[in-house]
Amino acid sequence: MDFSSFLNQKFLTDFDWANIQSIQDRFNGAVKLNQIAGISSYPSIQSIESTSELFRVPIYISAMRLITFIKQINEFHQLNEQEQIHLVKLNLLQTCFFHSIFIYDPRTDCYHEQDTTDPLFSGKDWIQTLNKEFHSEMKKLRNELLDIFQMDNIIIKLFYVILLFSQQMSLSQTKQYSLPDIQPFNIFKAQSVFTDLVYQYCLQQYGSSKAPILFTRYIMKIMKLQQLVDEIKYQINDYMDITQLSPLTQSLLA
């Protein structure tokens, strides 16, 4: 049997590459649109002295950028308003922590969004705001994720979209579709566009033998991240009074 045609196959079309570039550009645009005033500028270090400050400043910045990003995605606009709100409430916090993994620099022990005037946020401050076990698990998870695809910006940005379109990822969410206007198939259809795109990209970049293994490993790590975030949401009242936070952030922790 001749496998040469399969081995030389191009898994991504010009349209796919254009879609990937559009996603990169929209994320970069969302970051630029959400330059935060009222805090120190790079390279200053912005201290975080409490759990509420962790959610009021760096997590909030990530949340606003990710919301701006997902609102630029055509498939998001094809969902009705209830479905859009449902996805943001269900998946935004997990995606914020996923985002934090890739803006952390272990050399400086700081979190910083590249090419922004955001201050540095010290990793030591983050550890003081939530339990050390959570941060230890997050550090381990970061290393494992980087071991799979390194800092592949295309995969990272595509997974932001996949996570934001996820259904039934939350282990604690039992009544996800209680509202009549939420149609699970519509959400799955939207997510499948990007799941297929990232898988085809993996095939193109890593080959047909390695791609399925790497992709599956990555998904398993994402599920571990969801477990960690669910545990934090379950315990969050032990660390702070969430009524001190913005309505948006409160909804993510509910």
Residue 178 sits at φ, ψ, to 5 deg, of -75, -20
- According to the model, what pLDDT value does residue 155 have? 96
Element containing residue 251 per DSSP (H, E): helix 247-253
- β-partners of residue 105 are 110
Q: CB of 101 within 8 A of CB of 155?
A: no
- β-partners of residue 45 are 120
Rounded Cα distance, 60 and 126, in Å: 14
What the block records as the tokens of 167 is 């259904």
What the block records as the tokens of 142 is 């970061």
- According to the model, what pLDDT value does residue 175 have? 46
One-letter identity of residue 134: F
Q: Strand, helix or coil at 165?
A: coil
> Token pair 């479905």 is at which residue?
83
- According to the model, what pLDDT value does residue 202 have? 96
- β-partners of residue 122 are 110
- According to the model, what pLDDT value does residue 9 have? 66
- According to the model, what pLDDT value does residue 15 have? 94
Domains of the chain in sequence order: 47-169+179-253 (1.10.565.10)
The mean pLDDT values, 10 residues at a time, for the chain of 254 residues are: 49 94 96 83 90 93 96 94 92 95 92 92 89 89 93 95 81 50 86 95 94 95 93 90 90 87
Distances (CA, A) of 225 to 23, 91, 169, 232: 23, 12, 10, 11
Distances (CA, A) of 150 to 71, 144, 154, 210: 27, 9, 11, 14
- According to the model, what pLDDT value does residue 40 have? 82
- According to the model, what pLDDT value does residue 179 have? 56
- According to the model, what pLDDT value does residue 196 have? 96
Q: CB of 118 within 8 A of CB of 37?
A: no
DSSP 23-46: HHHHHHHHHHHTPPPSS--TTSBP
DSSP 39-78: S--TTSBPP--SHHHHHHTHHHHHHHHHHHHHTT-HHHHT
Residue 119 sits at φ, ψ, to 5 deg, of -70, 170
